[in-house]
Structures are given as structure tokens and as C-alpha cells.
Amino acid sequence: MLSIHSAAKKATRLCDGISRREVLKIGALGMGGLTLPQLLQAEAAAGIRGSQKSIIMIYMVGAPPHQDMYDLKMDAPSEIRGESRPMATNVPGIQISELMPGIAKIMDKCVPLRSVYGSPNGAHDSFICYTGRPTQNQPPGGWPSIGSTISQLQGPADPSVPPFVGLSPDAGHPPYGSPGLPGFLGVGNAAFRPSGPAEKSMVLSDITLDRMKDRKQLLQSFDRFRRDADASRTMEGIDQMYGQAMDILSSGRLADALDLSKEDPATRERYGKGSPAKYGDGAPRNLEHFLMARRLVEAGARVVTLNFGRWDFHSRNFSELRDTHLPWFDQGLSALIEDLHDRGMADDVSVVAWGEFGRTPKINKDGGRDHWPRVGGGLLAGGGMKTGQVIGSTDRLGGEIDSRPIHFGEVHATLYQNMGINPHSTMVRDFAGRPHFLVDNHPAMPELIG
């Protein structure tokens, strides 16, 4: 936690996230030198809304094997069926992997998706999970992630908490570490990244509260001078934006959400710790990020993204699932979903966990499954959706969609609708000024809407 020492040397809690030198410039708290005032530009455009609806998106780095989690094929040949065995859930007729007992106990609160498609080429990239669109044929500036779009449209629910928070640390393969890019909506709508590349430099010490106020006044005076000298008026409103940035930095609300020591010890144990170390070139298997995501949406964040593990099991698929990934993932995800229900937040918080594609039906010579963009899976929960059902199916081998294809864009349309945004009538403009709907021609999923 960050402490600012007053003249009396008493520690005063302020905020997790800025170095002494960065106070003067409200420094680089996000990817690529993103400043908090830039992050707040969306609020200036859209105003503060009262909605507390939110989204937590878990990106399963590298694409998990759908047929070893939610869509087991016990009637397939052994070279396809694999080692996973089915487990009954608390919803009659729905079975999932025996390695996911936590989710099995709360299946009435979940929706496994067994027929997700849309990845055009099987290349590793979190882009389609965060945008609902492929990387090809993008408009000027690129497609924005759902977090950036909601930041632009709705702004912060609370002025002291960023609307879009990305808990995804950097990874060896850069797309694995992206929390979702702002695209043509600009860096002002990028994710605030407390776990990002600026984390180690976000330290403030040996500065009194009075000196903090002096620097704020100096900053305001300097920016007024820049604004007055700017004939093009591009600096218009910057005083307000920096003032709002200072609100975030000086408020205890964001700091408290990020400080897990304030959480009930029993709840922390329920989520577990996992491991903060990156797994290969992927993400950490950090179970505390699941808890932090819940605390952030509770504090007012509208969208929180996190990444988990590295599921690209071209070899040792079954031992990787059993020994390194599924038990922890099951613990963190089931704890999050249960916790949201226990706190009366489930109707307001949509949860989605998925990867960029599925895995091959046939197990390769190294005991792994390779890339398979024809069909993958995922899990939905919360958001007031109709849960306790499975949507979609694949054929006997798990390689082709048999019923109810689900495009990534349909899930995004549903998430927008859960946020109170009509994705087919609301538009945002790219760098060339052209308007775009929030999703392509994909409807919200009727099976989920009450």
C-alpha cells in the first residue's frame, strides 16, 4: 500500500500507484505512458452515470481444451476422448470435468458454452475475446475493447475509480498480457493497469500532504498557462481532467479495492492465492486477481479484465490440466461466482471466462491438443442472465458445431445489453469520423435474456 507521510511523520493512506516524480505530471500509470487524466477523457465526453452494472472478463491465455472441461466426449475413441472423466453437477443432466468440482456445485449459477466460434485463423491473440471481432480489416485506429467502449460511453460510476481496470500483467507473448486495447477510442479509454508495466515504479514516499497540495497547485497553474497559450484550444478542459485524476490518486476508494489485506481472511482463503509468477510466456495463475476483480467492481469499476495461466497445451495436455491449471482455475472462478451471489451482486455483474479458440479433437503424439479455430467453449455467469443451462453442442468427436453456433460477437452483444447499452443502435466513431455499431450483425443471446 502507498503511504504519504505528513509533517508529523504520521502515515496517511493515499493510493496504490504513483512515484514521487510522477505526482508532478500525474505520471505513467498505464501501458505506454498512459496518464490518469487521459483515462478520464471519456467522462468529459459522456458524463458520470449512476449505473453499477459491470463486467468481469477472464481471458484464459492460449486457449483451453473445451472437450476436457465443459464438453466431454465419452463415446469418442480413446485418441480423442482423453483422460478427463465427467462429473455430475447440481443441475440434472449437465456434466463437466471431474477436475472442476467447484463449478459443478454451482452449475445452477453458470452457463457453459459449447459451440463458440469466430477466430479466423487459430493465431494466438486475446483480441477477439476483448473485442468480439477478428483482427482483420480494422477501421482507422483499430477496434476498441469492450472495456474501452464502455469507458467511452458510460464513464466512471465513481469519479475516484477508473471505469476500466486491466489486471493483466505483461507476458512474454504480448497479446497474452493485453487487458484490451482502446483502438480508435484513444488512450483516454485504455485500461488502468495496477498490475501492468508501471507497477514497480508506482511508489510515493517522503512527501508531506502540504507539499502534495503545493504540487497540485503548481500543476494547475502550469496547465492553465499551457491552455491560455494554446491558440488551437486543444488544452481546453485539462484542468478539470487533472483535477479528476487527483481525485483518483488522493481517494482511498481505489486504494482500498486493491488492498486485499482489508478483505475478510475467510474470504481470502476461499479464493486462495495461486501463483503470481508467469506461467511460461503466459500469465500468472493468480487467484487473488479474482478477488481483486470483485473488489474493484464493488468499488465502482465498470469493466475488469484479468488473464490466467497458459493453456496452450501442445504436449502433456492432461497433466497440465490436472497438476497446474484446472484445480486453481476452478477454485478462483467458483469462489468469484459464489461471492457475487452471496453479496447480492450477481444480477449486476456479468462474468465471462474463455480463450481465443478451441483445441483439436485428436490428441497428438506428444499427448497434447493443437489449435482448433472451428469451435471452442467458455463459461458465463451473473448479469441477470438465465443460468443453469448449456448452450450449443458439438458432434460426437467435439470437432464441429452440431447445434447453436455462438459467435464471440453474440456474447459481446449480450454483455453490452446487460450493461444497459443497445449494441445495435449505439455507435462510436473511428479516427476518420466514421460511425460504427458496437458489434457486427450479432444479436444478444435470446437464451440468456430474462
Q: pLDDT at residue 102 above 90?
A: yes
pLDDT digits (tens, 9 = 90+) for 199-238: 443 444 444 545 545 555 545 554 554 555 454 433 433 4
What's the mean pLDDT when you consider all of the chain? 83
Task: Give the separation between CA 381 and CA 48, rounded to whole angstroms.
Answer: 27
Task: Give the separation between CA 204 and CA 8, rounded to whole angstroms.
Answer: 17
pLDDT band at 242 (very low <50, low <70, confident <90, very high): low
pLDDT band at 165 (very low <50, low <70, confident <90, very high): very high
Task: Give the separation between CA 413 and CA 140, rounded to whole angstroms.
Answer: 22
Percent of the chain with pLDDT over 70: 76
Least confident stretch, 107-121, 213-227, 411-425: 213-227
Average of pLDDT values for 6-13?
A: 38
More confident residue, 39 or 132: 132
The C-alpha cell that represents 448 in the structure block: 440468456
Answer whether 86's CB lies under 8 Å from 98's CB.
yes
Least confident stretch, 68-72, 172-176, 231-235: 231-235
Domains defined for the chain, CATH in brackets: 50-448 (3.40.720)
Average of pLDDT values for 383-398?
A: 97
pLDDT digits (tens, 9 = 90+) for 243-271: 445 666 666 788 899 999 999 999 999 99
Task: Give the separation between CA 390 and CA 375, rounded to whole angstroms.
Answer: 15
Average of pLDDT values for 306-317?
A: 98
pLDDT of residue 27: 34
Percent of the chain with pLDDT over 90: 70
pLDDT of residue 63: 97
pTM of the model: 0.82
pLDDT of residue 25: 34
Task: Give the separation between CA 334 and CA 353, rounded to whole angstroms.
Answer: 11
Give me the amino acid identity at 113.
L
Q: pLDDT at residue 129 above 60?
A: yes
Answer whether 118's CB lies under 8 Å from 409's CB.
yes
Q: pLDDT at residue 16 above 70?
A: no
Sheet with 164-166: list strands edge to edge. 164-166, 303-308, 54-60, 349-354, 376-382, 110-117, 406-407
State how beta strands 110-117 and 349-354 pair.
unpaired
Task: Give the separation between CA 431 and CA 267, rounded to whole angstroms.
Answer: 45
